[in-house]
Each structure stands twice: as C-alpha cells, then as structure tokens.
A and B are shown apart, each in its own frame.
Chain A
Amino acid sequence: DAKTTQPNSMESNEEEPVHLPCNHSTISGTDYIHWYRQLPSQGPEYVIHGLTSNVNNRMASLAIAEDRKSSTLILHRATLRDAAVYYCILRRGTGNQFYFGTGTSLTVIP
C-alpha cells in the first residue's frame, strides 16, 4: 500500500487555524486520501476524504495538491477537543482495509 509521510507532532494555539501536512508521492490514480483522528483512549474517527478536488465539511477542509502528491488537512479554529493523533491514509479504489501510519500528534495550547 502506498506510503504517507507526516510530521510526528505539531502544536497550535487554541482558536487559531491548523494546517496538517501529508506527503504521498507514490499515490496512484485510484487512491483516495482519507484523514482520521484518534482522540486519547478512543477509536479512530473519520474526519474527511477526497480524491482530486479540495473538500470541505463541518469538521475540516482538505486541500489536495494539483499533482496529488501531497495534501493538507485544515482545522479552521483549533479547540482543545481537537488534540489528537491525525492519520493521513491512502485507500485504493478497490481497497478494503485501512493501513494506518504513525500520524501527527496535535497539541492544542490554551
């Protein structure tokens, strides 16, 4: 499965935007880009996904580079509740399971 690269950790001040980067240079044409997060002591939680175009939902925005080799998850106003490990995952169009990397641990500073 295609590999993603994320920074191990990031910090953000509360109520400021957060940009979480992900590199996926070996992405194939049928790979969807998914973002999940895992709050402490909880199961992974869906955040957003996209294929080629930028996507917005109530939780976040996903900006996908034109060549699709990188993407950025944008949290518009970080709250303390957004402190979690964020995973960028590529999923094949015919794929089934998710392969999680080590993710980015986001710390939100009050």
Chain B
Amino acid sequence: EPEVTQTPSHQVTQMGQEVILRCVPISNHLYFYWYRQILGQKVEFLVSFYNNEISEKSEIFDDQFSVERPDGSNFTLKIRSTKLEDSAMYFCASTFRAGGGDEQYFGPGTRLTVT
C-alpha cells in the first residue's frame, strides 16, 4: 500500500540553525500539507500546497518557514532560523483531491529537537 515517507525521523539542531525536513508524498497525490505537534499538544495545521504554490497557511507559518517541491517527488519544509519553541513532531500529509470527503494520508513524522 502506498505511503507517505519522511526523513529524517529525528533531527537535532542548535538554535538559530536552518533545518530542512523532507517528505515524499504518495506518487499520484496533488495536495500536500505540513502539520506540527508540540509534545503533549494537539496536531496543528501549518501550510497546504497545490500546483507549486501555497494555497493556505496558518498564523504559525511565518516568514521563518518555507515549503518547496523541488522535484516531482519531494516536498520540503524549511525553517530558516530555528527557535527552541520549534521543537515538535512535524507531519507531512498528502491527498489526491482536496474535497470535504477526501482523506489525507499522513507520514510517520520527523521529531525536531532544537537545543
């Protein structure tokens, strides 16, 4: 069964450093998403991406964040200058269509630890 994959599974970085989290969505999917989950808290939407541009973003997704689909398979989330509060699990998701009745497929997540 096709699945969303994410690398690395765990990333440790120092405050102020740039990090890139990588995702490979399911191959025929067209809509891509990033969510984050701070330890012990709920899953929060960050950004959605379609047709090579951002379609929606939350207030969390500020100028420190960017997303890119550099080729036909990868979808990346970049944090330019990490802060301690960026420590969280980051989940990538994808879907073929974005209608109300379409489910999203989530990856296993990348645990980001900022020290």
Contact = CB atoms under 8 A, between A and B. Distances in A.
Contacts of A30: 100
Size band of the interface chain B makes with A: 20 to 34
Interface in A23-63: 30-32, 34, 38, 42-46, 49, 51
Interface residues of A, number: 26
A34 B103 contact: yes
A80 B71 CA distance: 40
A42 B43 contact: no
Contacts of B4: 43
Contact of B101 (A38, A51, A96, A97): A51
Given A31-B100, A95-B100, A98-B45, A45 B106 contact: yes
11 contacts: A38-B43, A42-B109, A43-B93, A43-B106, A44-B93, A46-B105, A93-B101, A94-B99, A97-B48, A100-B35, A103-B42
Interface of A: 30-32, 34, 38, 42-46, 49, 51, 87, 91-103
